[in-house]
Chain A
Amino acid sequence: MGLQIIKSDTHIDFVGIRKFAFMISLALILLGVGSLIMHGGPRYGIDFAGGINVQVKFDKEIEIDHLKTILRDGGLADTTVQTFGLPQDNEFIIRVSALNVTTDEVRTKVETTLNADMGNSGYKIQRQEMVGPKVGADLREKALEAMFYAVLLIAIYISGRFEARWIVAGIMAAALAGGIYLLELVNLPMSLLIVAAMFITIGLCWYLKLNYALGAVVALIHDVIITVGVFSLLGKEFDLTIVAALLTIIGYSLNDTIIVFDRIRENLRNGLGDTFADTINRSINQTLSRTLLTSGTTLLVVAALYVLGGGVIHDFAFALLIGVVIGTYSSIFVASPILMGIGPSAQPVEEEGAAA
């Protein structure tokens, strides 16, 4: 037998420290949400906010403040400059939020300004992007929709698959669709609709006693909120690739949760564990080795991506790093305790043994 990180007789009382874990989660969520409120929402990149980005790479080292100064003196007052990628890359993004200029005008201005100042020092315009305000709003809406439908489909799948309650899950979907339709009539903005939809989903799962789905959905909302919160705290921007990262995190977190749930279900069926809490503890401990190993290998490659992948993919890898850690944590400390908090499914578990 090869190496072992987790000894087979490990028996950590995960459920016992759930109150402590809840405090940590709550603190992280409050911190993130607080930061979001303070900043007036997430910081959108040009994908969502609209604007112009020009990415410049310099041959030599250059101070960001110097760059800001020469651009301002060159008549580009309304710009923000940020470093891009690793510091030694000497790469910067020049962002123009004004929408009444064309990319070509901005580019020409950047070029003339830099030429006047740099003279012999070389630079190269690597990339330019312009997103109009309407496209930005559309992309934002689509991204939110994507997150929402992902969560909904997943909730339905878990309810159907784990509790063999496809019909109840269908009812939930219908009720949710009805609720959203009613909310749309009062003309709420998309972001509020999504929040409302999340609450309705959780409420419905609670009311219909779709316990597994409730645990999983709460865990992944937890993960997304914390990741978004960390991004907000660090002042990082949201763009389309970050949305892709968030959806990946949803998938990953769920992957983890389902493997623990699967074991809980199996142990319940086999009558292992004196109490429900004991069954859950036992299941988490049994899968702990796998959980840590998979998270470990995933973190290995994501870390490689973060360090070596280059500037364009940097924030994406960063989101995944946070997401994988939080996703692993939440499947142990959030999803399972919530499942326990309301007890095993209303349906006798033995009945759907044939499905396994």
Chain B
Amino acid sequence: MKGSLRYRIILALFVGVLGLVYVLPSFVGKDSPLKNVLPADEISLGLDLKGGVHLTLGVDIPKAIEYNLNQLGQDIRSAAREEGIAVLKPAVRAGEKLDFTLLKSEQQKALDELLKQHYRVLKVDAREADADGKVRYTMEMTPEYRRDVAKLTVDQVLKTIRTRIDQFGVAEPDIRRQQDDRIQVQLPGLDDPQRAIDIIGRTAHLEFKLVDDAADLTKAEKGIIAPGRELAALKKLRADGTYGQQPIVLKKDAVLSGEYITDAHVSYDNFGQPYVSMTFNPRGARIFARVTGENVKKRLAIVLDGEVYSAPSIQDKIVGGRAQITGSFSDTEAADLALVLRSGALPAPVKVLEERSVGPSLGQESIDKGVTAAFAGFILVLGFMAVYYGFGGIVADLALVFNIVLIMAGLAGFGATLTLPGIAGIILTIGMAVDANVIIFERIREELRRGLTPRAAIDEGYSKATLTILDANVTTILAAVILYQFGTGPIRGFAVTLTLGILASMFTAIFVTRILFDMWAAKAKPGASLSI
């Protein structure tokens, strides 16, 4: 008995010291010399406590599929042309279908062969022969390929967003993929959510299109427009500082797109106006030189996400692979625009499905109030137990303090996040943690009433209560596991604290208090009564 008691004391002390070692880093100051010896893990606070932005983004997969089908349509047409097969009007139709027309039905076999050889990712949905010898093809993606495209799209979006946020400069951002093509972004300590959303959510699809100045604008506005042309709106800054729009007719096919950009940054013109200057890679530079060389004196529109930013006249062939986007931006707008261009376009648009932002002051207030409530509850329980159970109550109080240290240590050590519901979980644990001790103490009282000696009553009480406590706690842990499995963000934090609290309370209430009672029993004179 004596020997076993010694080992139990050593184990309890060991756990206690370990607990303190993990708890302290969260409480000592940043430049305390203790930092060098203690573990680096601190209790990390959830966004609801430190303030920040939480976003759930949905990736528009149908849009990505549409882009992809469009690209495939163009590819098929040029591949067919090389084989001498005339294919017309590839276009994407609703329901993720690709349509095109084969001009001569006698080439059907050759076309089918070509599709089978090089376009296995597509399957023919329908082939309708027209009276005049044309065949209309409808094709769609194979399910496997569709899945691949969806997965690659989300991966690419994730990567791009990560790059953008890194450049935006947020400390400890958390970006992760969720099910159903969703992406979760957490940006702690950020108090301008809208700017972050603008940067993250911007598709940044940049195109250069030639302006058709010969087109009749009034006709175009009525919807009469030549094939291969489109009506767009040019952003114009009005005298009062607001933006207006001016109609402009563009050639539909882009001459160059943003994929060739290697760098973009903000520069300032002679009037101190910011503009964005871009650099192309060698291939982009060659295309840009050719296009500008062929179209001197014509206008070239710079289109970003469908909006025409500027349409300057080409003065001369531009070699060296540089281009500029002018317009009236603020410094921030220009910087953000350069950032998104540098990090590349999103392969599909994203939509903000969920947005939560908590101001830092509210977070601090939550912490303060939570801590106050926890402290008040703690003191009440400590006082109550000491009054009600006397010596036993003080033992239970010590266990409770130990318990709190272990929960904190657990949170820090496992890298769990403390959220507001988590604080509530700790507070609840304080109330429930004494439960195990109450069960034991009531048992000991019963045994004492039956006339057992204190030492025998302690032994009986602990052995009878232990299984009851285990049963009762396992069910609570089951509920916590379910909470963790199905919960999101703050709820998960709550589940983690609840579980840690239960485990810690079982250890302290069953193991640690027993040591104290055994120490008392070892020292007590024969016939001494137990205050419980």
Contact = CB atoms under 8 A, between A and B. Distances in A.
Interface residues of B, number: 84
B387 A241 contact: no
B428 A302 contact: yes
B384 A2 contact: no
A126 B486 contact: no
Contacts of B432: 252, 255, 294, 297-298
Interface string A228-253: 00000000000011011001101110
Interface string A139-166: 1001101100110011001100100000
B392 A2 contact: yes
A312 B363 CA distance: 10
Interface stretch (B67-75, B235-243, B250-258, B490-498): B490-498
B4 to A, nearest CB: 24
Interface string A15-48: 0000000000000000000000000000000000
B373 A309 contact: yes
Given A244-B483, A252-B432, A297-B381, A135 B475 contact: no
Given A241-B490, A316-B424, A304 B476 contact: no
Interface stretch (B205-213, B282-290, B445-453): B445-453
Given A255-B435, A301-B431, A320-B428, A247 B483 contact: yes
Interface string B391-416: 01100000000000000000000000
Given A103-B355, A154-B478, A290-B439, A302 B427 contact: yes
Nearest to B481: A153
Contacts of B362: 55, 57, 126-127, 312
A309 B368 CA distance: 9
B329 interface: no
Contacts of B194: 103-104, 107
B482 A310 contact: no
Contacts of B374: 301, 304-305
A244 B474 contact: no
Nearest to B54: A129
B467 A262 contact: yes
A294 B435 contact: yes
A255 to B, nearest CB: 5
Contact of B428 (A8, A134, A248, A310): A248
Contacts of A356: 467
Contact of B424 (A154, A255, A300, A313): A313
B18 interface: no
Contacts of A263: 468
A146 B427 contact: no
Contact of B354 (A130, A153, A293, A316): A130
A352 B351 CA distance: 58
Contact of B438 (A286, A293, A307): A293
Contacts of A102: 352
Contacts of B423: 313
A3 to B, nearest CB: 5
Given A294-B432, A309-B369, A313-B424, A301 B358 contact: no
Contacts of A286: 446
Contacts of A107: 194
A310 B365 CA distance: 8
Contact of B475 (A103, A251, A301, A302): A251
Nearest to A52: B355
Contacts of A149: 482, 485-486
Contact of A150 (B472, B479, B490): B479
Interface residues of A, number: 75
B370 A150 contact: no
Contacts of A138: 180
B203 interface: no
A302 B91 CA distance: 63
Contacts of B221: none
Where chain B touches its partner, the secondary structure class is helix
Contact of A134 (B353, B446, B490): B353
A110 to B, nearest CB: 13
B478 A150 contact: yes
Interface string B440-468: 00100110110000000000000010011
Interface string B420-433: 11011101101110
Contacts of B262: none
A335 interface: no
Contact of A135 (B56, B376, B472): B56
B473 interface: yes
Nearest to A8: B449
A312 B48 contact: yes
A258 interface: yes
Contacts of A312: 48, 362, 366, 420
Contacts of B356: 127-130
Contact of A300 (B197, B359, B431, B467): B431
A317 interface: yes
Nearest to B491: A244
Contact of A305 (B427, B439, B475): B427
B487 interface: yes
B385 interface: yes
B372 interface: yes
A304 B48 CA distance: 20
B428 A298 contact: yes
Interface string A299-326: 1111011011110110011001000000
Nearest to A147: B482
Nearest to A104: B194
Q: Ordered nearest first, which 3 A-B pairs have the shortest CB separation?
A: A301-B377, A310-B369, A298-B431
Given A126-B361, A130-B354, 16 more contacts: A102-B352, A138-B180, A154-B478, A161-B474, A240-B490, A248-B479, A251-B480, A259-B439, A259-B468, A290-B438, A297-B385, A297-B435, A298-B432, A304-B427, A305-B377, A320-B424
8 contacts: A2-B393, A128-B357, A129-B357, A255-B475, A263-B468, A297-B434, A308-B372, A317-B424
Interface of A: 1-3, 8, 55, 57, 102-104, 107, 124-132, 134-135, 138-139, 142-143, 145-146, 149-150, 153-154, 157-158, 161, 240-241, 243-244, 247-248, 250-252, 254-255, 258-259, 262-263, 266, 286-287, 289-290, 293-294, 296-302, 304-305, 307-310, 312-313, 316-317, 320, 356
Interface of B: 48, 56, 58, 180, 193-194, 197, 351-359, 361-362, 365-366, 369-370, 372-374, 376-378, 380-381, 384-385, 387-390, 392-393, 420-421, 423-425, 427-428, 430-432, 434-435, 438-439, 442, 445-446, 448-449, 464, 467-468, 471-476, 478-480, 482-483, 485-488, 490-491, 494-495, 498, 529-532
